[in-house]
Amino acid sequence: MDEDAGSMERIFNCGAGAIVTKSIGLEPREGYPNPTVIELEHGILNAMGLPNPGIGEFGDELKKLKKSKIPIIGSIFGANSKEFVELAKKMQSYGADALELNMSCPHAKGYGLEIGSDTELVRKITSKVKEATEIPVFVKISPNLMNIADIAKSAEKGNADGIVAINTVKAMKIDLELKMPVLANKIGGYSGKAIKPIGVRCVYDIYKNVNIPVIGVGGITTGEDALEYIMAGASAIQIGSAIYYRNLDAFKKICDEIEIWMRDHGYKNISELVGVAHT
């Protein structure tokens, strides 16, 4: 995820099929004070607080990309359906090819989980955004829920075009010497390799309960990781922390590893593998 036109173009040129922007709100937001990000044994813990320049200024970045062929998925967050609709309409007018409704941030008060854990709110917001826009709408949901399948079904009832699963896992780290949480916000979201089994399980559960595509995300750093998500039911995947672990070569390497596995196992089309773990 990124918010700078140059960075988005550079990532696309390294092999990404599309770019998901940083989550953008109506107004500029500084986020939480440092420390906001720490690396742990098997992943990354962060509590950024949804920092972003606001939709007005961000529009200038998207407009720079209009002449390119980069498919852009605009990620947005809001406190209610009115804010989501306003953001969605602006993202569409700036040239976004699709929308991702972030209803799953685990550490931003008033946003994220407070909305994404309510089935009726998820359905209502999704429906309102779909009515107000003409581009595909994906709903990003959280692993920090007991009723993740119900939330996915609510998004489907709101006419979502797809489900994105998962966001980060709610977590924290204690400094033994200081005897206090390391993050300024105390609680953050854990991402990276350690959450892949959680993400695969969530995609598996969601795939069984909805009839719309699922986009898998969480801890994908190798082609085998990606294939696990696909076999669980993902029609596409998002890559984030792999950029941290494997740099911008991650996209090409993961695609190459998928192709090698498919060739070795006699598959010609990736669609043949979507959801095969359910048979």
| Integer Cα distance of 104 and 141 in angstroms | 5
CA angle, residues 79, 2, 227, in degrees to nearest 5: 100
pLDDT at residue 112, rounded to an integer: 64
Q: Please give the backbone phi and psi of residue 167, each rounded to the nearest 5 degrees, phi first.
A: -90, -175
Alpha carbon distance 271, 50 (integer Å): 34
Query: In the chain, what's the furthest Cα-to-Cα distance?
Result: 55
70 pLDDT more than 90: no
Cα–Cα distance, 11 to 192 (Å, whole number): 19
Q: Kindly indicate the confidence band of residue 78, based on its pLDDT and cuts at 50, 70 and 90.
A: very high
Residues 152 and 140: their CA atoms lie apart, in Å, by 9
Residue 95 C-beta-side C-alpha neighbours within 13 Å = 17
Share the mean pLDDT of the chain: 92
20-to-15, 16, 110, 239, 256 alpha-carbon distances in Å:
14, 10, 22, 10, 22
Q: Cβ distance 157 to 182 under 8 Å?
A: no
Residue 143 has pLDDT above 90, yes or no: yes
- Domains of the chain by start residue, with CATH: 5-278 (3.20.20.70)
What counts of helices (H) and strands (E) characterise the chain?
A: 10, 13
Top-ranked range on mean pLDDT: pick from 18-22, 64-68, 107-111, 272-276: 272-276
CB atoms within 10 A of CB 141: 28
Written as six digits, the tokens of 247 are 């740099």
Q: Spell out the alpha helix ranges (H) of 99-172.
A: 113-116, 119-132, 148-157
DSSP state of 158: T
- Point out the catalytic residue in the list 14, 105, 202, 255: 105
Alpha carbon separation from 36 to 1, 15, 136, 189 (Å, rounded):
17, 29, 32, 10
- Is pTM beyond 0.85? Reply is yes
Active site residue 105: yes
Give the Cα separation of 156 and 212 in Å (integer).
7
Mean pLDDT for 175-195 is: 96
**Lowest mean per-residue pLDDT among 106-110, 169-173, 260-264:** 106-110
- The predicted structure's pLDDT at residue 226: 97
